[in-house]
Homo-oligomer: A and B are copies of this chain.
Amino acid sequence: MLAAQGGEACGGNARGVSRFPFSTAHAQAVGVVAAWMEEAGLSAGCDEFGNLIGARPGSGDGPTIILGSHLDTVPCGGIFDGALGVVAGVEVAAALRESGRGLRHALAVVGFADEEGHQFGVGTLASRCVTGRIPRERFASLRGRDGRTLAESRAAFAPGLPRCAFPERAAAYLELHIEQGPVLARSGRRVAVVSTITGIARTVVVLEGEANHAGTTPMTDRRDALVGAADLVLAVGALARAEGAPAVGTVGALSVSPGASNVVPGRVELSIEFRTTDGVQLRSLCTGIGVEAHQVAQSRGVSCHVGDWDLRDPVPMDEGVQRAIARAIHEAGHEPFVMPSGAGHDAMVLAPHVPSGMIFVPSAGGISHCPREWTDWEDAALGATVLLRTVMLLDEANLRAARVLPSHDAS
């Protein structure tokens, strides 16, 4: 797909795509996709945040139906994550042009500049900029891994395209994406409508015991922070499993101090992350691990400080858009599979502003964010067909216009 436009060599034998926002690889990808947009009858441009936008007017003056996803990748990522939704959007435009089919609504295909958050440390950065969730001042000052601010990176980013604006009023946002998990592939279905994008709660926990000599400190005298941390790691998994799918709980990072084989650990810092599609359940998981942490502290003789939770509520997809996607899947001869998204996507940022929906296609083995990421081309094409049919169904409806950038944030 876009592998050739981001094919920097990755470590070892593993090849993959490392296409970071405002990099040369990103600029090349923008150039290629912009050319495809023009062939498909879209006028290509680049907005102030580096997003590639291909637009065509509608026959009426209705608001825009936006199709999109992101063009950036994680380091050594796969070829589908993000790029699929952008290229499929262009394919929808091409199919409409070839069939001579007009739309009442204007259509825009967007390749967001930065969704993965690798370069600037903020996920869904580009969609947060266009919806005003990240104010212009912050956009200007965010500093990337290369030391440059986002404003400097954007200023030096010259994809050779006219400057354009992100659609101000939109009727719907549609995003085709790979699932990045094993659920759809295992279901035997080939395409899914996303019900909700999972909520995420993250915190950092610090356990403090007493570093001591591993030879002279009897077991009964120890205040071992790592033993307490082991209890917590197991409790996080047990709590998530007790709630059942789609709830998940993860300790992904953990560091031990002083970290020598002959010293009883005095301090452990670890991350806790819960995800689930029910906001009440999400809060209940946070409360539950707080109770466990208190018990661990008491039983292991350590102190346990649970930091503030960074809690992002689940984002339900628009019901009308979900119905249209389900009907489009039916019309394409398939049974719609309804599932939540365990990962975050640009659609979750757009959804509070614009009626939004997502289409998932299977990830072989549930593998993503690595070079082995794979989706059968037939499934990718089916996803694009469903995207096209959804656009046509929505175009027949009288969609209300929604402001992408809330008026009080507009400047």
A interface vs B, CB < 8 Å? 179-183, 198, 200, 202, 212-221, 224, 226-227, 229-231, 233-234, 237, 240-241, 245-256, 259-265, 271, 273, 275, 341-344, 363, 366-369
Q: Is the CB of B215 within 8 A of A275?
A: yes
Contact, CB under 8 Å: A230 / B219: no
Indicate if the CB atoms of A234 and B240 lie closer than 8 Å.
Answer: no
The interface residues of chain B lying within 8 Å CB-to-CB of A368 are: 213, 216
Given contacts A215-B344, A264-B250, contact A221 B366 (CB under 8 A): yes
Known: A213-B342, A214-B275, A254-B256. A219 touches B248 (CB 8 A): yes
Chain B residues with Cβ under 8 A from A367's Cβ?
212
Asked, given contacts A252-B263, A273-B262, whether A227 binds B216 with beta carbons under 8 Å apart, the answer is no
**Contact A251 to B237, CB < 8 A, known contacts A217-B366, A366-B221:** no
- A202: nearest chain-B partner, CB-CB: B261
Asked whether B253 lies within 8 Å of A213 as measured between CB atoms, the reply is no
A228 to chain B, nearest CB (A): 10
Chain B min CB distance to A244 (Å) = 9
On whether the beta carbons of B253 and A224 are closer than 8 Å, the reply is: no
| Docked-complex contact B254 and A260, CB < 8 angstroms | no
| A340 shortest CB reach to chain B, Å | 10
- Cα A299 to Cα B311 with chains together (Å): 32
CB-CB nearest in chain B for A259: B253
* B261 with A369: CB separation less than 8 A: no
**28 sampled A-B residue pairs with Cβ under 8 A:** A180-B215, A181-B216, A182-B216, A182-B217, A202-B261, A213-B343, A214-B250, A215-B275, A215-B341, A215-B343, A216-B343, A216-B366, A218-B248, A219-B249, A220-B245, A221-B366, A224-B237, A226-B251, A234-B234, A250-B261, A250-B262, A250-B263, A250-B264, A252-B256, A252-B260, A253-B256, A254-B254, A261-B273
Indicate if the CB atoms of A246 and B261 lie closer than 8 Å. no
**Cα separation A290 to B368 with both chains bound (whole Å):** 34
CB distance from A275 to the nearest CB of B (A): 5
Q: Which residue of B lies closest to A204 (CB)?
A: B261
> Which residues on the B side are within 8 Å of A200 (C-beta)?
215
| Closest residue of B by beta carbon distance from A200 | B215
Closest to A344 in B: B215
Cα(A197)–Cα(B179), bound, Å: 58
- Report yes or no: A271 in contact with B275, Cβ–Cβ below 8 A: no
| CB-based nearest B residue for A216 | B181
A230 to B247, CA, bound (A): 21
Alpha-carbon separation in the docked complex, A250 to B369 (Å): 36
Q: Is the CB of B219 within 8 A of A227?
A: no
Q: How far is the CA of A326 from the CA of B310 in the complex (A)?
A: 62
Give min CB distance, A221 to chain B, whole Å: 6
Q: Does A217 lie within 8 Å of B342, measured CB to CB?
A: yes
Distance to closest chain B CB from A215 (angstroms):
4
Say how far A281's CB is from chain B's closest CB, in angstroms. 14
Residues of B contacting A218 in the complex (Cβ-Cβ under 8 angstroms): 181-183, 245-246, 248, 342
Contacts of A253 on B, CB cut-off 8 Å? 256, 259-261
